[in-house]
Amino acid sequence: MSHHNKHNIDDLYKNAFKHLPVEIPREAELWQRIAEQKKSKNKRRIWWIFLALGLFVITIISGVVYKSNDRMLQKEAAKTEVAETSIAQNLTNTLEKNTSIRNKSLANQKQSKNEKHSKASNLKNTSSPTYNDSQPAQEKQKSVQRKSSATLSETAVGFSAKQKAIAYAPMVNQKKSGITKESFDKTQNDLEISKAAYIESMSALPMLSLIPMLTKPSTIMQQIPNEKLAMIKNKKAVHSLTLASGVNSVLNKVEINNTAAPEFQSFEALFKPLSSFNTSIAYGYRRGNIKFSIGLEWQHLEIQHENTYFSEGQRVLQTNPQAYVLLEGNNPPVYFEAESYGSTSFMIHELSSVTSQSLLLPLKFCYLSRLGNRFRIGPSAGVIVNLHKNYTGKTLTEDGIIRWVDNDNRSPYLNNALGIQLLAGIECELSIKGPLSLSLHPVFRYNFQDFFKNNYSVNNYHHLFGGQIGLTYKIPEK
Amino acid sequence: MVGADKSIYHLTNSYLFSIAVRYTMDEHLAMDVLQESYIKIFDSLKQFIYKSEAATFQWMKQICINESLKLIHKNKRKYQIESGVRFSNTVFNNHDLHVQDLYRILSQLPDQQRVVFNLYAIEGYAHKEISQLLEIKEVYSRTLLARARKFLNKNISKLNYVAS
């Protein structure tokens, strides 16, 4: 095309259409629409921002409440431990009395053929129980009959009073005799109170009134001519770097399986606000409305195991037969067993925590839509590769009895492993100035992996619900 | 204030509608463009600094163009000129070709070529400004313009139109 022709065609169209008025069909109707929209415009709200901000604020506040309650509860637990120590001491004293009673009864048995033999309680933590081998086989058989008619002392029942009771798996063996209804009801009541107190401490604060974000819309003068609008097809790719930090609340699912002791099977689900913190850096690639990002994230996760089992412990205050309640101590938590004529009671209590660290490689996609001139929002989804490693802390051991032990080394029960998480959420971007923008990202993460070893009696799954707030820098094109 | 808004509306709507139709090539979309444009114009009147009538009209035109491009991107379909669009009686007297023919040929261009041609040839934007506005490279803007011109020339020639 020649230069002359080029200008001809340009001029032809320019002259024809530059200031050409065209009559609008249904002009009055158009004005009506404009007038109505002007009225309703002020009522319009960018409610997505409020929703994201509200969720974020609620998570922060619930976490603060949780942490303050947690400190309070730990103080209470410490008091309880002190009380339990004294209770344990009382029981030990009682035990010594029982021992002397037993010895007297044994002595009496030797003298009398009609007296029945007693069976010592089985110490399973440090030493094997010693039984009186002189017991006749028939009497031994009788020893497994559940005949005990003893009642619990009040001090034994006091062990169950803990504020952090959660799901209650009744351990009472229905076949056990001698358990008084009164003591059982009292225990159950204590647990219910503890459970209610715990649930109340976890409840979220009332919804705060949403704080409207005042954004002054860009004036039209600013739109001319440097405003970037998404036009027909955005051929330009936008590269960005995002630094973000966030908090998560953890939904913790615990399964305890012990095939050797079916009564230990239980299931608990815990919700822990703000049990996870993370920091990340990510590279983003955006073309049009599609965004892709990949990055690195460090996450600190606190998984807490809390299990409270209770069953009736029996303390027989009879000369024949007799039972013993033996305690190892209250710190670290104890597992103890009282056995009387084959009836078995188990009591495990105490809480502890196992912590882990993760290095995460998140890969996510999102579709962003523009709302106004400075705000984008859209759904996002992706996967996270989780390099998980265990951390120092207390661990749960299983050597015939289940107990917590201090372990300054990494837990032998946690895996250093590779896991996969799925994530889904909402991504919001608000332009601040130039290449800088603020990003908000409420997200839910579903964790497939249980990072405890296969031979361990606890299965733990955790899922995260929380949000990240970050600063994004759009890398300018050269 | 409502009275003033209505006056502005009546004075400028036909010109802005002409612009909107040229970009969207669709009467209904052009009405939507106009609606959004006037809302923005009325919202920004408080901050607007009056310099001259021409500058004011230029400002309003640019709002209308921006809204047109937004809507085109949102809808992403080819637009056909509708016979219902009526023109004023102003006809370009130096040429034999009717304005409607020019519109029809213009409407046959692909969206990107039509927009670039409108912006460059009719509105007077430079390629650098077009590339920033459309977020495309400057070289690509030139390419689109060249293709548009070639197409228009070819089709106008078929109509036996001779430029003066």
Q: How far apart are CA A169 and CA A318, in angstroms?
A: 30
Query: How many independent structural domains does chain B possess?
Result: 2
Residue A242 lies in a domain: yes
User: What is the number of CB-based contacts under 8 A between chain A and chain B?
Assistant: 167
- Within a domain: B31: yes
Beta-carbon count within 10 A of B155 CB: 17
User: Which residue range(s) make up the domain with A330?
Assistant: 73-199+310-347
A12 close contact with B: CB closer than 8 A? yes
Per-residue model confidence (pLDDT) at position B82 = 42
> Closest Cα of chain B to A21: distance in Å?
4
Residues A159 and A131 in one domain: yes
Least confident stretch, A222-226, A404-408, B126-130: A222-226
**Mean per-residue pLDDT for A330-352?**
31
Compare CB distances from B62 to A12, A25, A225 and report the shortest one's residue. A225
Residues A291 and A330 in one domain: no
Contact yes or no for B102 and A16 at CB 8 A = yes
Between A282 and A1, the more confident residue is A282
* Domain co-membership, A247 together with A183: no
CA A245 to chain centroid, in Å, comes to: 19
d(CA B32, CA B16): 12
pLDDT in tens, A168-180: 333 334 334 455 6
Helices B27-44, B53-75: crossing angle, 10 deg rounding: 130
Residue A55 has pLDDT above 60, yes or no: yes
Same domain membership, residue B53 and residue B7: yes
Q: Taking the mean position of all CA atoms in its chain, how far away is CA A15?
A: 70
Our CA-based measurement puts residue A284 at a distance from the nearest CA of chain B, in whole angstroms, of: 18
Q: Could you tell me if B58 and B122 lie in one domain?
A: no
Joined together, the tokens standing for residue A87 give 């209770």
Asked if residue A133 has pLDDT above 80, the reply is: no
- Cβ of B88 and A22 within 8 Å? yes
Q: What is the pLDDT of residue A238?
A: 81
8 A C-beta contact, residue A415 and residue A427 = no
Question: Which residue in B18, B49, B136 is closest to A22 by CB distance?
Answer: B18
- Residue of chain B with shortest Cα separation from A221: B48
CA atoms within 13 A on the CB side of A193: 10
Distance, in Å, from the CA atom of A287 to the CA atom of A285, rounded to the nearest integer, reads: 7
In which element (H, E) is residue A472 found?
strand A458-475
Do the domain assignments include residue A217? no
Distance from CA of B80 to the nearest CA of A (A): 17
A284 lies in some domain: yes
Q: Is residue B127 part of a domain?
A: yes
pLDDT band per the 50, 70, 90 thresholds, residue A111? confident
Interface test with A, best of B129, B134, B137 (most A CBs within 10 A): B134
| A363 and A262 within one domain | yes
Residue B150 vs residues A8, A15, A451, B144: alpha-carbon distances, Å: 12, 19, 66, 10
pLDDT at A194 over 80: no
Q: B72 and A232 in contact by Cβ < 8 A?
A: yes
CA distance, residue A16 to nearest chain B CA (Å) = 6
The one-letter code for the residue type at A462 is H
Q: How far apart are CA A153 and CA A290, in angstroms?
A: 69
What pLDDT was estimated at residue B127? Answer: 92
- Least confident window among A9-13, A82-86, A205-209: A205-209
A291 to chain B, closest Cα gap in Å:
17
Whether A27 is in a domain gets the answer no
**Contact of A210 with A50, CB cutoff 8 Å:** yes
Same domain? For A289 and A327 the reply is no
How would DSSP label each residue in A434-464? TTEEEEEEEEEEEE----B-TTSSEEEEEEE
Please give the tally of structural domains in chain A.
2
Classify residue B26: in a domain, yes or no: yes
Per mean pLDDT, which of A81-90, A377-386, A402-411, B76-85 is the most reliable?
Answer: A377-386
Where among B75, B110, B130 does a domain terminate? B75
Structure tokens, A238: 């936008």
Q: What are phi and psi for residue A414, nearest 5 degrees?
A: -100, 145
Confidence at A268, pLDDT banded by 50, 70, 90 = low
Asked which of A64-68, A116-120, A472-476 is least confident by mean pLDDT, the reply is A116-120
Domain annotation covers residue B60: yes
| Interatomic CA distance for residues A114 and A313, integer angstroms | 28
- Name every residue whose Cβ is closer than 8 Å to that of residue A53 and which is 6 or more positions away in sequence: A210, A211, A213, A440
The CA distance from A447 to A465, in Å, is 11
* Residue A54 counted as domain residue: no
Shortest CA distance from B11: residue in chain A: A21
Are residues B62 and B112 both part of a single domain? no
Q: Are residues A107 and A244 in the same domain?
A: no
Is the domain of B6 the same as that of B71?
yes
Q: Are residues A274 and A423 in the same domain?
A: yes
Is A13 within the bounds of a domain? no
Strand order in the sheet with A169-170: A169-170, A309-310, A343-348, A335-340, A324-325
- Residue A464 pLDDT > 60: yes
| Contact (Cβ atoms closer than 8 angstroms) between residue A441 and residue A244 | yes
Task: Round the average pLDDT of chain A to a whole number and report it.
Answer: 60
Question: What is the per-residue pLDDT for A467?
Answer: 84
* pLDDT number for residue A197: 52
CATH number at residue B150: 1.10.10.10
The answer to whether residue B89 is domain-embedded is no
Positive/negative CA dihedral, A384, A390, A395, A397 = positive
Query: What does the pLDDT look like over A280-329, one tens digit per residue?
Result: 888 888 877 777 888 888 776 655 444 433 222 222 222 222 223 333 33
Domain boundary (B60, B75, B90) is at: B75
Residue A263 and residue A160 in one domain: no
Query: Do B9 and B71 reside in the same domain of the chain?
Result: yes
State which of A292, A323, A347 marks the end of a domain: A347
| B-contacting residues in A 18-57 (Cβ below 8 Å) | 18-27, 30-31, 33-35, 37-38, 41
Quickly state the pLDDT bin for A108 (edges 50, 70, 90). Answer: confident
CATH classification at residue A294: 2.40.160.20
Same domain, A103 and A178: yes
Q: Do B17 and A6 touch (CB under 8 A)?
A: no
Across A338-347, A387-396, A403-412, B114-123, least confident range: A338-347
In a shared domain, residues B71 and B6: yes
For A75, residues 6+ apart whose C-beta sits below 8 A from its C-beta are none
Rounded distance, CA A129 to CA A122, Å?
4
What is the structure's pLDDT at A148? 36
Distance from CA of B38 to the nearest CA of A (A): 7
Kindly determine whether residue B150 and residue A26, on different chains, have CB atoms separated by under 8 Å. Answer: no
Record the tokens describing residue A307, joined without a space. 């299990």
Asked if A10 lies within 8 A of B120 by C-beta distance, the reply is yes
**A59-63, A147-151, A398-402: the lowest-pLDDT one:** A147-151
Q: Does ipTM come in above 0.90? A: no
Q: List Cβ neighbours of A119 (8 Å cut-off, separation of 6 or more).
A: A131, A132, A135, A140, A143, A321, A322, A339, A340, A341
Same domain, A322 and A410: no
Residues B103, B68 share a domain: no
pLDDT value of position A165:
37
Greatest alpha-carbon pair distance for chain B in Å reads 51
State whether A79 and A96 are in the same domain.
yes
What is the DSSP secondary structure assignment for residue A224, as one 8-state letter?
T
Residue among A8, A21, A23 minimizing CB distance to B163? A8
Q: Measured between alpha carbons, how far is A266 from A456 in angstroms, rounded to an integer? A: 15
- Please give the residue of chain A at the shortest CA–CA distance from B163: A8
In Å, the largest CA–CA distance within chain A is 135
Q: Could you tell me if A201 and A76 are in contact, meaning their C-beta atoms sit under 8 angstroms apart?
A: no
pLDDT at A303: 54
**Pair (B115, B148) in one structural domain:** yes
Q: B63-106 pLDDT, tens per residue?
A: 999 999 888 877 664 444 444 443 333 333 343 456 778 888 88
Q: Which chain B residue is nearest to residue A7, measuring alpha carbons? A: B121
pTM exceeds 0.90 for this model: no
Regions in chain B scoring below 50 on pLDDT: 1, 77-96, 162-164
Query: Which of B47, B72, B87 has the CB atom closest to A22's CB atom?
Result: B87
Domain that holds residue B22: 2-75
Same domain membership, residue A427 and residue A340: no
∠ Cα A144 A257 A191 (to 5°): 75
Q: Shortest CA distance to B99 belongs to which of A6, A5, A19, A7? A: A19
Does the beta carbon of A226 lie under 8 angstroms from any beta carbon of chain B?
A: yes
The answer to whether position B90 is within a domain reads: no
End-to-end CA distance of chain B: 47
Lowest mean pLDDT among A214-228, A248-262, B8-22, B139-153: A214-228
Domain membership of residue B88 (yes or no) is no
Is residue B54 assigned to a domain?
yes
CB atoms within 10 A of CB A222: 12
Tens of pLDDT, residue by residue over A12-45, are 888 888 777 777 877 788 888 888 887 776 555 4
